[in-house]
Amino acid sequence: MTPRARKQRREDALEALRQGPDAWVASASERGEVHLIPLSYYWDGHRLTVATPLDSVTARNVIRAGRMRASLPSTVDVVILEGPIEVIPVAADDALADAHAGAAGFDPRQEPNQYVYLRLTPAFIQAWRNVEELKGRTIMRNGTWLEER
């Protein structure tokens, strides 16, 4: 199978992000205990936002690290994003809360636990579908889309 060009991988990755609604979010404790959880997200075209209880393992780990790694949509069409995060209280931005609720299919403002939004700005993105695409899988580095080579 012929590997996709970097431009096509970028377009496909952005389409996968637009389709949503779920991603795997990975984090680790200070002691290196790993944690992986599926979370629904909202993609605004530039940033990926998830909602999780403030006292959750994911929130504690990601807030402490100041970074998040997420993967979607599947193991046969991989998109991995990593970058710094913003922590946004659920009640702080009604437009974000409405957009997230519409995309994710649930509204954390209605939940009994105190939720926060973790908004990831990608600094690093990889995309691949098969072993032939492992070479060249990095399509963004340091927040900049890589050009064709």
Q: What is the pLDDT of residue 149?
A: 56
Q: What is the pLDDT of residue 20?
A: 87
The answer to whether the predicted template modeling score (pTM) of the entire model surpasses 0.85 is yes
In whole angstroms, give the CA distance from residue 48 to residue 87: 12
124 belongs to a structural domain: yes
Residue range 127-134: mean pLDDT, rounded:
92
Report the CATH number at residue 82.
Answer: 2.30.110.10
Residue range 52-78: mean pLDDT, rounded:
94
Label residue 114 by pLDDT band (50, 70, 90).
Answer: very high
Domains: count for the chain: 1
Q: Name the residue range of residue 56's domain.
A: 6-137
1 belongs to a structural domain: no
Residue range 28-35: mean pLDDT, rounded:
95
Q: What is the pLDDT of residue 10?
A: 94
In whole angstroms, give the CA distance from residue 79 to residue 5: 15
Q: What is the pLDDT of residue 148?
A: 67
Q: What is the pLDDT of residue 96?
A: 97
